[in-house]
């Protein structure tokens, strides 16, 4: 993480312009909106939404959402809001997430069972986290659906925004640095193909939550149910002219990325054996 180069910002701006064109095409004619999914009726997602996801483990997901992400019509957290119970899921919006602005976070920050999704070297993987949750469940005894003691349940914080926005939130909110960290080791390829991801296997917020919950609950169906409306959302956008996006990393590895790269990104690539192999092949054939 770090400062993003002007070229990266320009590339991001181009992607936003392309997405805006698609969204404006949808709004050419005034249309009625669904009162539940809040989408135009002709692209309503209700038939794809699952019933409310009811968890059997004592866990709560917190989304720290960057203000710019909240303004995106195609944000994935809107789907989560329609599917999750309030006691297990909450979105907070802003850049600063301290206890003065959000008093409810005091119990979260002071809870030894609170984690933030962040891929550090010291972060535990999702399977290790699942084992910790199961151990805590044994201490709490029989599951009580009304149990909402913030001091005893597990809390998981995800930062919602672009990579640079999420980096900024993490590094400027020092309370997050005190929390233990979880990394998502997965080969899942994102279904959210209407936005460009920085690297392969980077996931949308909805997909990340889906993987966490399906792993903790040991119910793969949770992932399938939550990702289904996301797939439908993308398909609707393709029908209106959007083009599937590959990750920036994919474009680079396949010789399809022609824009200058930031120094930080070049350093990352030179440490990646896959890139070095591609670079050697490219040089041999050039």
From the centroid of its chain, how far is CA 101? Answer: 23
Do residues 263 and 213 both lie within one domain?
no
Q: What is the pLDDT of residue 152?
A: 79
Give the CA distances from residue 253 to residues 20, 281, 285, in Å, rounded to whole numbers and listed in that order: 27, 11, 15
Do residues 85 and 187 both lie within one domain?
yes
Domain residues for the domain of 37 are 11-239
Q: What is the pLDDT of residue 63?
A: 98
- Whole-angstrom distance, CA of residue 16 vs CA of residue 43: 21
Residue with tokens 């993308």: 234
Q: Would you say residue 6 lies in a domain?
A: no
Do residues 167 and 264 both lie within one domain?
no
- Whole-angstrom distance, CA of residue 210 vs CA of residue 208: 5
Q: Would you say residue 3 lies in a domain?
A: no
Q: What is the pLDDT of residue 285?
A: 39
Do residues 271 and 141 both lie within one domain?
no
Do residues 72 and 99 both lie within one domain?
yes
Q: What is the pLDDT of residue 5?
A: 54
- Domain tally, the chain: 2
In this prediction the pTM is 0.76
Q: What tokens appear for 101 in the block?
A: 């602005």
Query: Over the range 227-259, which residues count as b (16 or more CB within 10 Å of their CB) and which as e?
Result: bbbbebbbebbeeeebeebbbbbbebbeeeeee
Map residue 148 onto helix, strand or coil.
coil
CB atoms within 10 A of CB 28: 8
122: DSSP letter? T
Do residues 103 and 205 both lie within one domain?
yes
Q: What is the pLDDT of residue 240?
A: 83
Do residues 178 and 266 both lie within one domain?
no
Q: What is the pLDDT of residue 250?
A: 57
Do residues 250 and 232 both lie within one domain?
no
* Residues in CB range of 254: below 8 A, 6 or more apart: 278
Could you tell me if 42 and 30 are in contact, meaning their C-beta atoms sit under 8 angstroms apart? no
Q: What tokens appear for 152 in the block?
A: 């005893």
Per-residue pLDDT of the chain in tens (286 residues, 90 and over written 9): 444 455 566 666 766 666 666 666 655 455 789 999 999 999 999 999 999 999 999 999 999 999 999 888 889 999 999 999 999 999 999 999 999 999 999 999 999 999 999 988 899 999 999 999 999 888 776 656 565 566 779 999 999 998 889 999 999 999 999 999 999 987 777 888 776 665 555 789 999 999 999 999 999 999 999 999 999 999 998 888 876 665 555 556 666 667 776 676 667 666 654 544 444 434 433 3
Do residues 270 and 179 both lie within one domain?
no
Q: What is the pLDDT of residue 143?
A: 56
Q: What is the pLDDT of residue 109?
A: 97
Do residues 197 and 252 both lie within one domain?
no
Do residues 42 and 164 both lie within one domain?
yes
Do residues 168 and 136 both lie within one domain?
yes
């Amino acid at each position: 993480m770090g400062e993003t180069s002007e070229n990266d910002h320009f590339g991001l701006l181009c992607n936003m312009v392309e997405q805006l064109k698609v969204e404006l095409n949808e709004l050419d004619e005034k249309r009625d909106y669904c009162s539940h999914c809040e989408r135009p009726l002709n692209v309503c997602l209700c038939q794809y939404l699952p019933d409310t996801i009811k968890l059997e483990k004592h866990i709560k997901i917190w989304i720290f959402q960057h203000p710019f992400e909240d303004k995106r019509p195609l944000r994935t957290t809107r789907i989560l809001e329609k599917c999750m119970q309030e006691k297990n899921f909450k979105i907070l919006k802003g850049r600063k997430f301290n206890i003065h602005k959000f008093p409810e976070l005091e119990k979260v920050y002071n809870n030894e069972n609170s984690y933030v999704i962040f891929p550090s070297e010291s972060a535990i993987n999702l399977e290790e986290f699942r084992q910790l949750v199961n151990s805590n469940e044994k201490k709490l005894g029989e599951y009580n659906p009304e149990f909402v003691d913030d001091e005893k349940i597990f809390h998981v914080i995800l930062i919602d925004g672009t990579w640079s926005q999420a980096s900024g939130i993490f590094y400027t909110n020092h309370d997050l640095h005190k929390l233990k960290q979880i990394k998502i080791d997965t080969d899942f390829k994102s279904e959210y193909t209407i936005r460009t991801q920085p690297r392969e296997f980077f996931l949308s917020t909805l997909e990340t939550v889906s993987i966490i919950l399906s792993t903790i609950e040991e119910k793969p169906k949770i992932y399938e149910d939550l990702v289904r409306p996301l797939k439908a959302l993308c398909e609707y956008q393709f029908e209106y002219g959007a083009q599937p996006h590959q990750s920036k990393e994919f474009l680079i590895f396949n010789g399809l990325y022609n824009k200058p790269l930031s120094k930080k990104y070049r350093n990352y690539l030179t440490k990646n054996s896959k890139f070095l192999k591609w670079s050697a092949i490219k040089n041999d054939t050039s």
